[in-house]
Structure 1
Amino acid sequence: MAEVAFRDEQVLISADELSNSPDAYTVLHATVTFPKPRFDGDYRPESGYATWRAAHIPGSVHADLLDGFSAPDADLHFSRPSPDALAAALAELGVTPDADLVVYDEGGMTWASRLWWMLRNIGISARVLDGGLTRWTALGLPVETGDTAERRATTPRTALIDRGLWRDRDDVLAVVSGDAPGTLVCALDAEQFAGTATTRYARRGHIDGSRNLPAKSLLADGILRSTDRIAELAEQALADTSRPLILYCGGGVSACLVALALVRTGHDDIAVYDGSLEEWTADPALPMRTLGEGKGGA
């Protein structure tokens, strides 16, 4: 996990490429099970460990984004751990400092992108499996079941950096109030952005002044769209906006897939609002909009 300059990097790996040289990579599974909300405020994330045990890429290990790969005792789900805690979580899984990392999930690519972004923030290069396990199995590639692999903890990486790729509530509020430059970009679906769909969060809609670039719109047949198409979609959504881009969603997960796509197309002035709408909507004093309520649209 050597520190890299992140120029012209490869952020994706195809299932074919991974299957051709599986021993060259340390593979981490990052899925969280997240049922659709039955009513507003219905928030029920569950560990993806059972999903991993049922079928996983041979040799992979499960990285629990609700446990070791989240901040302990945080008020919010999926809060990022400190750089040292993240390094310790990797070491506990047996990840060595020189490992070439691949992260994947069941196929939506949001959870894998979340782990990729956390690693990227502390200077660790990783690649996301394009299409995840869905693509892997569609190609007829082998899977394992159960948890029989023996793992030995390694020494945690030290001398970590913080590249400042995350933003918190006060940073977002400064943009909303006009006290800081930037553009807020919501990664949720158009219906959630508009406030017409049931939400897991306390209030429907989007943060005042946001643009909408849905994470799902960046995928086609389960894999990331071409760089040209992503650039076109980004231009449509973000024309005449200022930088930096601060991406958010419901819990800081889908926003990381948008970050992955934008990085792949050459954007570098990007950050992710970690607390996202779980934090923002919990405070009724913070401005939210649904479409038709005034400013703030796609």
Structure 2
Amino acid sequence: MTHPTSLISPEQLATMLGQPSLRLYDCTTYLEPAPQGSSDPYLVVPGDKTFEAGHIPGADFLDLQGEFSDASTHLRFMMPAIAQLETAFGRHGLDASSTIVLYSIGSMMWATRFWWMLRSLGVDALVLDGGFDKWKAEGRPIEQGAPSGYPATTFKAALRQGFFVDKSAVLARIDDPASVTVNALGPQFHRGLEPSRYGRSGRIPGSVNVPAATLVNGADKTLTTLADAEAKFAAQGITRDKDVICYCGGGISATIDLFLLAQLGYDRLTLYDGSMGEWARDSELPIETG
């Protein structure tokens, strides 16, 4: 399999521009340092300004924290009520009958987060390999200005169960031999060798480490090959006969791991949405270092 079924290349996307059924979305968010003394680990800045400076022609912009996350919690990027998502996606003209392509700037993780969310709602989408960075590097057409948007639709979710779990489910699986919990953060954070911006340093006990950064090619920001990804997962004891729980800091970079696992045919996958943003701050939850 040269290209996973949910992945689309810039070359392939270029042939689709202008098609009436195409719904193309820039999903970019930026994480900036929080002011000194702030209780937040970072500031969430939507990528609307960089969208206006340059985007793939015809694209719309999706604000993950502003429109598609639960605003009632201090945790960032948490899945909100289904009704909120139906309203927001419908407002942006998205429905299952369209060809949906997602991309982001700097990292594909913002696009794969939306891919995972949509998948949980019963909608399959495509993710642009290398995102806007690769598109721009290849000299492909770029448009400037605010999004024109798409005609609104009535979005109705067909909810698929098991895509998200909470801390109690993760805690219950710590010593379960039928499960494996995967940390997508860097090894220095997994081992607790560096201070964590989320709270206590370390990892969920028993979890293994497949950093999302090791699944991406640094030169052009594309995903690694399926063979390389398979080898990295296998080296950590991640097999198709186990339930796989992925986590990171805020439930974003872990979707890179989930995306590749899904393309490899793993189907017992879930995301701990609260991730270390929740776990590290809860002193009643166990944590492991070393």
- 2:12 counterpart of 1:12: no
Compute the displacement of 1:289 (Å): 1.5
- 2:87 counterpart of 1:92: no
- 2:203 counterpart of 1:203: no
The residue number in structure 2 matching 1:284 is: 283
**Preserved contact between residue 183 and residue 242 of structure 1 (Cα < 8 Å):** no
Q: Distance in 1 between matches of 2:235 and 2:143?
A: 42
Q: Aligned in 2, Cα 1:18/1:239: closer, same or farther, shift over 3 Å?
A: closer
Deviating above 4 A after TM superposition, structure 1's stretches of 4 or more consecutive aligned residues are: 36-41, 239-242
- Match of residue 171, structure 2, among 165, 173, 180: 173
Q: Distance in 2 between matches of 1:135 and 1:81?
A: 31
Partner of 2:24, secondary structure, is strand
Q: Aligned in 2, Cα 1:231/1:209: closer, same or farther, shift over 3 Å?
A: same
- Match of residue 187, structure 1, among 181, 184, 188: 184
**Preserved contact between residue 187 and residue 213 of structure 1 (Cα < 8 Å):** yes
- Match of residue 214, structure 1, among 211, 216, 226: 211
Range with bigger deviation, 22-31 or 232-241: 232-241
Compute the displacement of 1:102 (Å): 0.5
* Letter in structure 2 aligned against 1:93: H
Range with bigger deviation, 222-231 or 22-31: 22-31
Alignment of 1:37-116 (within 5 A): 42-116=41-115
Q: Aligned in 2, Cα 1:26/1:272: closer, same or farther, shift over 3 Å?
A: same
Q: Distance in 2 between matches of 1:85 and 1:100?
A: 22
**Preserved contact between residue 26 and residue 59 of structure 2 (Cα < 8 Å):** yes
Deviations 1:220-278 (A, max 9, x none): 23111111111011111225897201000000001111000111111111100000000
> What is the percentage of aligned positions where both structures have the same residue?
33
**Preserved contact between residue 183 and residue 248 of structure 2 (Cα < 8 Å):** yes
How many residue pairs match? The answer is 282
Q: Aligned in 2, Cα 1:241/1:10: closer, same or farther, shift over 3 Å?
A: closer
Q: Aligned in 2, Cα 1:162/1:72: closer, same or farther, shift over 3 Å?
A: farther
The residue number in structure 1 matching 2:18 is: 23
Partner of 1:27, secondary structure, is strand
Which 5+ residue runs of structure 2 have no aligned equivalent?
none
Q: Aligned in 2, Cα 1:147/1:211: closer, same or farther, shift over 3 Å?
A: same
Q: Aligned in 2, Cα 1:270/1:148: closer, same or farther, shift over 3 Å?
A: closer
Compute the displacement of 1:34 (Å): 0.8
Q: Distance in 1 between matches of 2:103 and 2:149?
A: 20
Partner of 1:163, secondary structure, is coil
Which 5+ residue runs of structure 1 have no aligned equivalent?
1-7, 292-298
The residue number in structure 1 matching 2:273 is: 274
- 2:236 counterpart of 1:237: yes
TM-score with structure 1 length normalisation? 0.88
* Letter in structure 1 aligned against 2:124: S
Compute the displacement of 1:187 (Å): 0.3
* Letter in structure 2 aligned against 1:224: L
Deviations 1:162-219 (A, max 9, x none): 332111111001012x368411100001111122234320111111111000001011
TM-score with structure 2 length normalisation? 0.90
Q: Distance in 1 between matches of 2:238 and 2:252?
A: 24
Partner of 1:260, secondary structure, is helix
The residue number in structure 1 matching 2:141 is: 142
**Preserved contact between residue 55 and residue 143 of structure 1 (Cα < 8 Å):** yes
**Preserved contact between residue 182 and residue 247 of structure 2 (Cα < 8 Å):** yes
Partner of 1:191, secondary structure, is helix
